[in-house]
């Protein structure tokens, strides 16, 4: 019988072994990620305060968010703040990661030690990093202002001034994420064949020309990957800002990012249905931006 044959076939056994291996993650993913995602899609069409039963309200949440600036005065502003954060955070982050990676790739002594140092912020909890930077940015006892005072520069109230709060938080994000990008770039750099540089040198290319014509183009797939993941990560920035700005994205909502708004809608105002709708709007935005990048950003090392 074909069934018996199939059950005893190598193909089935290999497949079964494979599925058994991924089973724990698959079960976890289904129960804690996939099902909640699907359920929250349903909730995004309801009015639900997490206590009483949700009422179906159709597209009302979406309409309120997108078109009712009186009821949702911070929807569009919070999206704008997030975009500003991305502009400050992503290019600087990629540049710093690349510089660190090239530094480590130049066969220096203690490569592993530096790798470890730069990677530590990545594996430290965002809250701990935020508390650390809160001290650095402190207007009186903070290291940064004391450093500036050494050059007779006036102190600044970094986290409480509308003009400096968001850039200060972006700097923190760059610092924290640099190690991760560095590791990925380093892997990319190690994959570039040495002969290309030798050939370029023979042709008389200087260091800058080598970097511009060999390193950067060959790093394109890696850069593209980092660009996508960093942008997505920056759209979702939340915990550092929550800790540093007393929960309302102060001063004057200048650091009130999208997810902080979403969090407040859900857990401060108990509008879980609206918050679910916000998360789906963000999903669509991220999807669209990622699609545009796949379409228009060069990603192959030609």
Q: How far is Cα 227 from Cα 230, in angstroms, rounded to an integer?
A: 5
Of 6, 28, 67, 267, the one binding another protein (CB under 8 A) is 267
Q: Is position 1 an interface residue for another protein (rule: CB under 8 A)?
A: no
Q: Is position 32 an interface residue for another protein (rule: CB under 8 A)?
A: no
How far is CA 299 from each of CA 26, 217, 228, 294, rounded to the nearest angstrom? 30, 9, 11, 8
Q: Is position 134 an interface residue for another protein (rule: CB under 8 A)?
A: yes
**ω before 293 within 30° of 0 (cis)?**
no
Count of residues making up the chain: 302
For another protein, which stretch binds (CB under 8 A), given 6-14, 101-109, 132-140, 192-200? Answer: 132-140
The tokens describing 189, both together, are 């750099």
For another protein, the closer CB: 158 or 185:
158
For another protein, the closer CB: 12 or 67:
67
Q: How far is Cα 153 from Cα 147, in angstroms, rounded to an integer?
A: 9
Q: Is position 77 an interface residue for another protein (rule: CB under 8 A)?
A: no
Torsional sign, CA 151, 157, 161, 165 = positive
Binding mask 43-72 for another protein (x = CB under 8 A): ------xxxx-----------------xx-
Q: Is position 39 an interface residue for another protein (rule: CB under 8 A)?
A: yes
Of 6, 19, 20, 73, the one binding another protein (CB under 8 A) is 73
For another protein, the closer CB: 13 or 268:
268
> What is the closest distance, in whole angstroms, from the C-beta atom of residue 228 to another protein in the complex?
31
> What is the closest distance, in whole angstroms, from the C-beta atom of residue 17 to another protein in the complex?
29
Of 6, 28, 270, 291, the one binding another protein (CB under 8 A) is 270
Q: How far is Cα 91 from Cα 173, in angstroms, rounded to an integer?
A: 12
Q: How far is Cα 290 from Cα 197, in angstroms, rounded to an integer?
A: 33
Q: Is position 252 an interface residue for another protein (rule: CB under 8 A)?
A: yes
Q: Is position 160 an interface residue for another protein (rule: CB under 8 A)?
A: yes
Q: Is position 138 an interface residue for another protein (rule: CB under 8 A)?
A: yes
For another protein, the closer CB: 192 or 248:
248
Give the footprint of another protein on residues 196-225 (CB under 8 A).
none
Q: Is position 81 an interface residue for another protein (rule: CB under 8 A)?
A: no
Counting residues that bind another protein (by CB under 8 A) gives 36
| Footprint of another protein (CB under 8 A) | 35, 38-39, 42, 49-52, 70-71, 73-74, 134-135, 138-142, 155, 157, 159-160, 162, 246-248, 250-253, 264, 267-270
């Amino acid at each position: 019988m074909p069934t018996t044959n199939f059950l005893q076939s190598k193909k089935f056994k290999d497949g079964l072994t494979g599925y058994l291996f991924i089973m724990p993650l698959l079960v976890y993913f289904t129960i804690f990620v996939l099902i909640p995602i699907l359920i929250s899609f349903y909730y995004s069409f309801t009015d639900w305060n997490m206590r009483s039963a949700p009422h179906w309200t159709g597209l009302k949440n979406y309409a309120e968010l997108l078109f009712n600036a009186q009821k949702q005065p911070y929807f569009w502003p919070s999206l704008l703040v997030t975009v500003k954060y991305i502009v400050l955070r992503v290019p600087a982050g990629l540049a710093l990661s690349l510089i660190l990676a090239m530094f480590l790739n130049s066969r220096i002594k203690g490569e592993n030690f530096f790798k470890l140092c730069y990677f530590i912020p990545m594996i430290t909890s965002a809250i701990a990093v935020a508390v650390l930077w809160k001290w650095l940015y402190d207007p009186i006892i903070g290291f940064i202002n004391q450093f500036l005072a050494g050059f007779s520069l006036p102190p600044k109230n970094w986290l409480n001034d509308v003009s400096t709060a968001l850039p200060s938080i972006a700097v923190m994000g760059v610092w924290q994420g640099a190690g991760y990008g560095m590791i990925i770039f380093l892997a990319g750099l190690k994959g570039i064949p040495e002969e290309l540089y030798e050939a370029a040198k023979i042709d008389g290319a200087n260091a800058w020309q080598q970097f511009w014509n060999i390193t950067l183009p060959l790093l394109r797939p890696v850069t593209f990957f980092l660009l996508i993941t960093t942008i997505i990560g920056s759209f979702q920035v939340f915990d550092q800002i929550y800790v540093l700005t007393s929960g309302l994205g102060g001063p004057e909502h200048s650091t009130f990012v999208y997810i902080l708004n979403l969090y407040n809608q859900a857990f401060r105002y108990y509008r879980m249905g609206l918050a679910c709708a916000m998360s789906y709007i963000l999903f669509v935005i991220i999807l669209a931006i990622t699609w545009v990048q796949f379409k228009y950003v060069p990603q192959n090392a030609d």
